[in-house]
């Protein structure tokens, strides 16, 4: 039995997130079924990040143990024939027996895309904030208050499985690219709904003309329930990369 790591991209529009749950389908479920079909036995897959319903991935990483002596190139080709077009596996590599896609990750990068002009073609892939004043300069002014290690309780959905809400945001950028506002955030870890709430907070600062230092006030409050800003929609969020 050898351990392998794969790099996966997926369109999350039709999935109930990455992780297997009561609701179906999920990305993890589809990948496990495909691998199990090839291996002729149950194969479990562990992902680096548990993306939510409707969230996309450009470079999710997952590991699995595989019983066959099949070469990685053969495994990749076989797997591609078993997966729906919304899931694409880019590469498969053999890794150390103790490699763990989730716990060995040092950084994760998420990208959030806001479109200033919604069309029928970007509806599922870019968020659109109708009648909201979206100004890139005001978004950028919020960045210094997010950078560094903070308790992000105020920007996370509560969970009994989470022992602490400390996250260290290493880097963050906001740029206007054509008709899009692109937010990129790199951190050691992310909490449930964290990026979407951060984007929602920046939208509130921009639209309401608030002083950007209100971000610090919201962080310091450490309250899960926030009425000051909304959680941004899932369709604009992408897991962009994982660093080991």
For residue 105, give both structure tokens: 């990750």
Strands 56-66 and 87-94 come out as unpaired
Q: d(Cα 82, Cα 44) in Å, to the nearest integer?
A: 16
Output phi, psi for 19, to 5 deg: -75, 140
For residue 200, the surrounding DSSP H or E stretch is: helix 194-208
Residues in Cβ contact with 83 at an 8 Å cutoff, skipping those fewer than 6 apart: 30, 31, 34, 89
DSSP annotation string for 86-122: TEEEEEEEE--TT--TTTT--EEEEEEEEESS--TTT
Active site residue 52: yes
Neighbouring C-beta atoms of residue 110, cutoff 10 Å: 25
Q: What are the Cα distances from residue 77, in Å, to 23, 55, 74, 91, 229? A: 29, 26, 5, 10, 45
For residue 221, give both structure tokens: 């409050």
For residue 10, give both structure tokens: 């997926």
Which one from 52, 65, 104, 178 is the annotated catalytic residue? 52
Return the sign of the alpha-carbon dihedral for residues 176, 182, 184, 189.
positive
Q: Which residues are catalytic?
A: 52
């Amino acid at each position: 039995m050898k351990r392998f790591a794969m790099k996966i991209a997926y369109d999350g529009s039709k999935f109930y997130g990455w992780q297997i749950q009561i609701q179906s389908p999920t990305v993890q479920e589809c990948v496990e079924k495909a691998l199990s079909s090839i291996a002729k036995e149950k194969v479990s897959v562990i992902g680096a990040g548990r993306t939510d319903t409707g969230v996309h991935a450009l470079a999710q990483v997952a590991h699995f143990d595989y019983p066959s002596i099949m070469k990685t190139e053969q495994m990749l080709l076989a797997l591609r024939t078993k997966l729906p077009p919304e899931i694409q596996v880019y590469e498969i590599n053999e890794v150390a027996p103790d490699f763990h896609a989730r716990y060995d990750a040092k950084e994760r990068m998420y990208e959030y895309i806001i479109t200033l002009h919604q069309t029928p073609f970007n509806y599922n892939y870019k968020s659109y904030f109708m009648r909201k004043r979206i100004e890139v300069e005001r978004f950028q002014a919020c960045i210094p208050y997010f950078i560094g290690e903070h308790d992000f309780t105020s920007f996370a959905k509560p969970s009994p499985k989470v022992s602490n809400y400390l996250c260290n945001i290493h880097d963050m950028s906001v740029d206007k690219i054509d008709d899009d506002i692109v937010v990129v955030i790199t951190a050691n870890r992310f909490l449930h709904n964290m990026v979407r709430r951060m984007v929602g907070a920046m939208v509130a600062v921009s639209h309401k003309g608030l002083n950007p230092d209100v971000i610090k006030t919201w962080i310091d409050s450490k309250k899960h329930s926030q009425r000051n800003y909304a959680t941004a929609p899932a369709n604009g969020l992408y897991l962009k990369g994982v660093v080991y």
